[in-house]
Amino acid sequence: MVITVAGGAVGNELELTKKAAQMYMEEHPNVEVKVLDTPDLAQDRLGLYLQFLEAKSPEVDVYQIDVIWPGDLADHFVDLNKYGAKEVADDHFEALIQNNTVDGRLVAIPWFTDAGLLYYRADLLEKYNLEVPKTWDELEKAAKTIQEGERKAGNEDFWGFVWQGDAYEGLTCDALEWVASNGGGTIISPDKKITINNPNAVEIIDKAASWVGTISPEGVTGMAEEDARNIWQAGNAAFMRNWPYAYKLGNSDDSAIKGKFDVAPLPAGKSGKGAATLGGWQLAVSKYSKHPDVAADVALFFASPEVQKMRATEGSFNPTIKSLYKDEDILEASPFMGKLYDVFINAVARPSTATAPNYNKVSTLFFKAVYSVLTGEKDAQTALEELELDLQDVTGFEVGEPKAR
What domains appear along the chain, each with residue ranges and CATH number? 2-115+279-345 (3.40.190.10)
Distances (CA, A) of 55 to 5, 51, 59: 17, 6, 10
What would the pLDDT profile of 127-151 be if each residue is shown by its tens digit? 999 999 999 999 999 999 999 999 9
β partners of residue 77: 286
What are the phi and psi torsion angles at 400 (to 5°)? -140, -175
pLDDT tens for the chain, 405 residues long, are: 999 999 988 888 999 999 999 999 999 999 999 999 999 888 899 999 999 999 999 999 999 999 999 999 999 999 999 999 999 999 999 989 999 999 999 999 999 999 999 999 999 999 999 999 999 999 999 999 999 999 999 999 999 999 999 999 999 999 999 999 999 999 999 999 999 999 999 999 999 999 999 999 999 999 999 999 999 999 999 999 999 999 999 999 999 999 999 999 999 999 999 999 999 999 999 999 999 999 999 999 999 999 999 999 999 999 999 999 999 999 999 999 999 899 998 899 999 988 988 999 999 999 999 999 999 999 999 999 999 999 999 999 999 999 877
pLDDT of residue 403: 84
Cβ-contact 96, 114 below 8 angstroms: no
**pLDDT for 29-66, tens place per residue?**
999 999 999 998 888 999 999 999 999 999 999 999 99
**What angle, rounded to 10 degrees, do the helices at 169-181 and 359-374 form?**
80
Least Cα distance to 319 among 113, 85, 115, 21 occurs for: 113
Q: Mind listing the pLDDT tens digit for each residue in 287-341?
A: 999 999 999 999 999 999 999 999 999 999 999 999 999 999 999 999 999 998 9
- The answer to whether the beta carbons of residues 177 and 276 sit under 8 Å apart is yes
Cβ atoms < 10 Å from Cβ of 300:
19
Q: What is the largest CA-CA distance in the chain?
A: 63
- Residues in Cβ contact with 154 at an 8 Å cutoff, skipping those fewer than 6 apart: none
